[in-house]
């Protein structure tokens, strides 16, 4: 009954459910490939749905959601108005306290996003990723299956970035899903800003090769 009430009260949003139903960290290399191909195949339809939904809710022309820097302000403003936060069940809080005991309360999430909000964050991550692809052919979607302790192992990421501050140049991998959720978590601590999504994009454009 509680789960049903949460569903009824949650954001009315068209959820795209992953077919495997597994956390990326628990996938085999074969499953990671299957999940990646599924993710990439769904980007066009998700971007069409997301842009229509966002433009409708914000009452703005859909053409303003054109993957440009200005569009990130519209997207994040919409997210901040739409996102739902709920209390984390006590049993899950206790599990986190045990799991992250060495970090104290730092990693304990006493509040969490609703299910629909988490799916919205993934669509925003897709939008962010596609914005980088709109800048040229340097950046592409990819995934890695090792090392296993990598935080974004088996998850869709962006590659092609180069940090020339190092010799030889460092090639960082960008996890848009993790990055977007990280910015969204500021909502729980009331530190969120309307420029948070734009700030991510601006930071990582510095690592796009120029030639």
Model pLDDT for residues 78-95, shown as the tens digit of each residue:
999 999 999 998 999 998
**Residue 36 corresponds to which tokens in the numbers above?**
């990646």
Q: Does position 3 have pLDDT exceeding 70, yes or no?
A: no
The 10s digit of each residue's pLDDT in 128-138 is 999 999 998 89
- C-alpha span between 204 and 178 (Å, rounded): 14
Q: What pTM was estimated for this model as a whole?
A: 0.91
Across the range 162-185, mean pLDDT stands at: 95
The residue ranges of DSSP E strands in the chain, in sequence order, are: 85-87, 111-113, 140-142, 157-159
Asked whether residue 168 carries a pLDDT value surpassing 70, the answer given is yes
Residue whose C-alpha is closest to residue 94's, from 81, 105, 83: 105
Interatomic CA distance for residues 175 and 143, integer angstroms = 9
- Distance, in Å, from the CA atom of 179 to the CA atom of 202, rounded to the nearest integer, reads 13
Radius of gyration from C-alpha coordinates of the chain: 18
Choice among 11-20, 37-46, 99-108, 160-169 with the minimum mean pLDDT: 99-108
As a 3-state breakdown, the chain gives helix, strand, coil percent values, each rounded to 5, of 55, 5, 40
Give the pLDDT band (50/70/90) at residue 4: very low
């Amino acid at each position: 009954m509680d789960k049903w009430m949460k569903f009824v009260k949650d954001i009315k949003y068209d959820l795209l459910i992953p077919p495997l139903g597994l956390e990326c960290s628990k996938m085999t290399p074969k499953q990671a490939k299957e999940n990646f191909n599924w993710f990439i195949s769904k980007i066009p339809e998700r971007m069409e749905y997301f842009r229509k939904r966002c433009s409708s809710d914000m009452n703005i022309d859909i053409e303003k959601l054109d993957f440009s820097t200005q569009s990130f302000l519209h997207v994040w403003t919409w997210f901040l108005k739409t996102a739902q936060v709920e209390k984390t069940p006590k049993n899950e809080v206790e599990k986190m306290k045990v799991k992250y005991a060495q970090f104290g309360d730092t990693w304990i999430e006493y509040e969490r996003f609703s299910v629909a909000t988490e799916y919205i964050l993934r669509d925003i991550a897709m939008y962010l990723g596609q914005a980088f692809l709109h800048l040229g052919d340097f950046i592409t979607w990819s995934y890695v299956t090792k090392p296993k302790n990598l935080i974004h192992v088996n998850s869709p990421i962006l590659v092609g970035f180069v940090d020339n501050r190092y010799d030889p140049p460092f090639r960082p991998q960008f996890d848009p899903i993790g990055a977007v959720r990280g910015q969204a978590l500021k909502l729980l601590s009331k530190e969120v800003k309307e420029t948070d999504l734009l700030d991510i994009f601006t930071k990582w454009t510095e690592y796009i090769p120029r030639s």
